[in-house]
Structure 1
Amino acid sequence: MAARIIIADDHPLFRSALGHAVCKVWPEAEVVEAGSAGAARAALADGAEALLLDLHMEDSHGLTVLMDLRQDYPALPIVIVSASEEPRVYAAASQLGAAAFIPKSASLDDMRGALAAVREGDSWFPETDVDADDDLARMASLTPAQRRILGQMRAGLLNKQIAWELEISEATVKAHITAIFRKLGVVSRTQAVLLATKLDVDQPAADAAAS
């Protein structure tokens, strides 16, 4: 059976370029294109050999999407393909379980090399001397529900507003927030929100303009 490779990026031309690189490494691959994280998740229902994932799409902005997919598909090789070229983002993606990180500025040869490494079960990341971050490890311990609530806290919503948005009781929201504080080692919403900013990935201006 041919390998099934999912490419999730909201730029059709870049998806096409990635598709060419994929076909050089997996010549018989079935390439499935998705324009959003939600579409990629739907495509994963039919299985995949690997997922190439942009971090900036209409429904995903940062490393939270990587954590969610990593938790739901622990054996799936996820290759981050991003316009971000921050060493801290490379290190964070590696720490959170990505198989590779390909900057969008990478040459076609480097893209092929990264994909070939993933196909062989190896990892591929640009060189960085950034150390592992204990805060990221703590955030990775949050459940998907806790991450959703933390996201609502970042948006400035009160407990009753979060309860309404997520269709749960306010008591459940409070219980989740208590668990979030404990797992993150913080004592206030402000501290939790500040830690969560480490999951953000700055989007280069040129890439943002193209979105």
Structure 2
Amino acid sequence: MRILLVEDDQQLASGLKESLRYAGYSIDMVACGGQALLAINSAVYEVIILDLGLPDMDGLEVLKRIRQKNKQVLFLILTARDGIDSKIEGLDKGADDYLSKPFNIEELLARLRVFERRLGTNTSSLITHKQVSVDTKGHTVSVDGEVLAFSRREYMIIKSLLENIGRILSKQQLENKLYEWGEEVSSNTIEVHVHNIRKKLPKDFIKTVRGVGYVVSKS
């Protein structure tokens, strides 16, 4: 899942980015509302983590403008503001969830797992299909109960496909979930990752739909 983090506190933003990358997310980071408005025109995001106290404009205005253009992206609002009024206003303008500062990173990750369940086909942090299981809380993949070693990006591909069982994900969609701004992506990167993944998963677990992408079929 690719996330846009909009936070002007650089120390907090850097720490969040590192924690979220470790948890298997792809993170782009901006420090103000204007940059956020530009960012949504250059990449596809499934979640935006938005601080309300931005230096150039109010975070609620950023939320309003993005929501007018994009009805699908999920917003997790970070705020140090007290009072129920600002929360109600944010929800009315299209926020999906709120997290008050200071917060625990584990709570943030739990909120994101809820978002993932809304976006995909899984209903819990443990996604099991046939012999393969992905633990999105522990960030592990197991086959027939045995935990296997996968790289961060291999894990992200497996998780993305299992979150969308029966849905074909194109190479571009997978690249968008895996890579952040400035990262170089070779033309055959996804093919190489899928090739390595298939060596460890059951035969034909991941199917190639020629000219379209990859899918884990329901049957």
* TM-score, length-scaled by structure 1: 0.51
Distance 2:77 2:45 in 1: 15
Distance 1:121 1:5 in 2: 15
- 1:12 counterpart (10, 13, 20): 10
1:89 and 1:13, CA in 2 relative to 1: closer, same or farther beyond 3 A?
A: same
- 2:28 counterpart (27, 32, 42): 32
The answer for unaligned runs of 5 or more in structure 2 is 120-219
SS in structure 1 of the partner of residue 27 of structure 2:
strand
Runs of 4 or more off by more than 3 Å in structure 1? none
CA contact (8 A) 2:46 2:72 kept: no
Aligned to 2:21: 23
Distance 1:119 1:60 in 2: 29
1:165-176 → structure 2 map (5 Å cutoff): none
SS in structure 2 of the partner of residue 47 of structure 1:
coil
SS in structure 2 of the partner of residue 92 of structure 1:
helix
CA contact (8 A) 1:22 1:115 kept: no
- Letter aligned with residue 75 of structure 2: I
Distance 2:19 2:89 in 1: 25
Q: Hey, which of these two has a bigger chunk of helix by percent?
A: 1
Distance 1:69 1:104 in 2: 23
* TM-score, length-scaled by structure 2: 0.49
Following superposition, the deviation at residue 64 of structure 1 comes to: 2.1
Following superposition, the deviation at residue 62 of structure 1 comes to: 4.8
The answer for unaligned runs of 5 or more in structure 1 is 123-211
1:90 and 1:24, CA in 2 relative to 1: closer, same or farther beyond 3 A?
A: farther
Distance 2:61 2:70 in 1: 14
Residues 189-209 of structure 1: per-residue CA shift (max 9 Å, x gap): xxxxxxxxxxxxxxxxxxxxx
Distance 1:44 1:63 in 2: 16
Aligned to 1:77: 74
CA contact (8 A) 2:50 2:59 kept: no
Following superposition, the deviation at residue 53 of structure 1 comes to: 0.8
Residues 107-163 of structure 1: per-residue CA shift (max 9 Å, x gap): 2222122222122228xxxxxxxxxxxxxxxxxxxxxxxxxxxxxxxxxxxxxxxxx
Following superposition, the deviation at residue 57 of structure 1 comes to: 1.3
Residues 80-103 of structure 1: per-residue CA shift (max 9 Å, x gap): 111113222222222221111111
User: What is the aligned-residue identity percentage?
Assistant: 21
- 1:95 counterpart (92, 98, 105): 92
CA contact (8 A) 1:21 1:112 kept: no
Distance 1:50 1:91 in 2: 20
Q: Hey, which of these two has a bigger chunk of strand by percent?
A: 2
Following superposition, the deviation at residue 21 of structure 1 comes to: 4.2
Distance 1:24 1:89 in 2: 31
Count of aligned pairs between the two proteins = 118
Matched, 1:59 2:82: no
